[in-house]
Structure 1
Amino acid sequence: MNAKFFREEVDAAVDALLMQQVILYPTDTVWGIGCDAEVPRAVEQVYKLKNRPAEKACIVLVADEQMFARYADVVPDNLPDLLAAQTRPTTYVVPGSRHLAPNLLAADGTIGLRVVLTDEFCRLLIRRLGHGLVSTSANLSGEPSPTTFAEINPAVVRKADYVAYWRQDDTTPAVPSRVVRVLADGGIEVLRD
């Protein structure tokens, strides 16, 4: 890893996010379109870029359990155990908190939160931003999710305010996260495996 290039890429992405811009970036799963999860105007721009219906919620990437707790209205008591048992990136659907941009929440008030456990770029990006990071697959609504940067529709690339160069040349196909709903008793219901 080129450490200087890595730092420059994180710095540039954070600068764009702080200016309430929309970025195209590699996540711990597929490439994502994102913005600061606390800025409604930026969230609106993400939806506009994707031509995504407003009623379809996005997910939010967080750096750790403390940030998860900031955005979850109810934090599962067994969250540390759930995270420790993960074998791949997992998004947890929970009631969303008032700290999130309201236009991120699903109609039932829930939000999908994913603690980024292994991806160094994403984790540092979120930590430096200090807020959750919206993540929705880098495709126009209705198109398949691209598994590499090369598969991203050029229209999406052109519409993003900032495009990360980090890992653009990675040709390893990525897969979306597992999605589970956290139940009141601490159990989980698998929504997407």
Structure 2
Amino acid sequence: MATVNEAKKTLQEGGILLYPTDTVWGLGCDATDEKAVQRISELKGRSNEKSFIVLVNSFHMLEKYVPDFPEICYDLIDLSERPLTIIYDNPKGLANNVLAQDGSIGIRLTNHPVVNQLISSIRKPIVSTSANISGEPTPTCFAEVSEKIKQGVDAIVEEELDKVCKQASSIIKIGADSSVKVIR
């Protein structure tokens, strides 16, 4: 089990984490590191054609990676009653293999204290994908994470191992015309 400081070092060295998020347990890495993102895909047995979700800790960071940030998103994020992932077009500065085939990316502004500490410490967004083998059920709490996943990461963040299980985020896509499409 890793402390937040140890997890920071793991991220900076291109490693992958098993960590709690504001939704389900996730696999994560520096979202700008293509090799680390590839390692997550390989561990999950996931097709390279599938995109990931990226977590940021502030509107400032979100705007840095989404230069054409739609104004409507401020209200959507502020008013959402549960964690909200928004799919944006034309992000910049992220690893190419973290993006969807159409070049879009799902980003969530997290309010989870441990995740915020990690993001602040490396000053970059973190990949967040469910901590499961592709095609298997999503583990909503640590007890549901498979041994293969636990053994395949470089560090497990020790926070909240006995925490109550949660659910995945809502996902929406914002169109160029500020239209909103609900994905999940």
If the TM-score is normalised by the length of the shorter chain, which range does it land in? Answer: over 0.9
TM-score, structure 1 length as denominator?
0.91
SS at match of 2:108: strand
TM-score, structure 2 length as denominator?
0.96
Runs of 4+ in structure 1 deviating by more than 4 angstroms, as ranges, are none
In the alignment, structure 1 residue 176 sits paired with structure 2 residue 168: yes
CA contact (8 A) 1:73 1:95 kept: no
Aligned to 2:182: 190
Query: Which whole-Å CA distance do the structure 2 matches of 1:138 and 1:84 have between them?
Result: 27
Task: Please tell me the residue identity of whatever aligns with 1:62.
Answer: V
In the alignment, structure 1 residue 159 sits paired with structure 2 residue 152: yes
In the alignment, structure 1 residue 26 sits paired with structure 2 residue 20: yes
Task: Please tell me the residue identity of whatever aligns with 2:55.
Answer: L
Cα deviation, 1:108-160, whole Å, max 9, x if unaligned, reads: 0000000013x111111111110000000000000000011000010000000
In the alignment, structure 1 residue 121 sits paired with structure 2 residue 114: yes
Query: Which whole-Å CA distance do the structure 1 matches of 2:40 and 2:135 have between them?
Result: 15
Taking every aligned residue pair, what percent have the same amino acid on both sides? 38
Cα deviation, 1:9-65, whole Å, max 9, x if unaligned, reads: 211111100011001000010000010000101111110111100000001000011
SS at match of 2:183: strand
Query: Which whole-Å CA distance do the structure 2 matches of 1:47 and 1:176 have between them?
Result: 19
Structure 1 residue 73, shift from structure 2 partner: 4.3
**Residue ranges of structure 2 left out of the alignment (5+ in a row):** none
SS at match of 2:70: coil
Q: Given the alignment, which residue of 68, 74, 84 partners 1:80?
A: 74
Aligned-pair Cα RMSD in Å: 1.2
In the alignment, structure 1 residue 70 sits paired with structure 2 residue 64: yes
CA contact (8 A) 1:96 1:105 kept: no
CA contact (8 A) 1:33 1:137 kept: yes
**Residue ranges of structure 1 left out of the alignment (5+ in a row):** 1-7
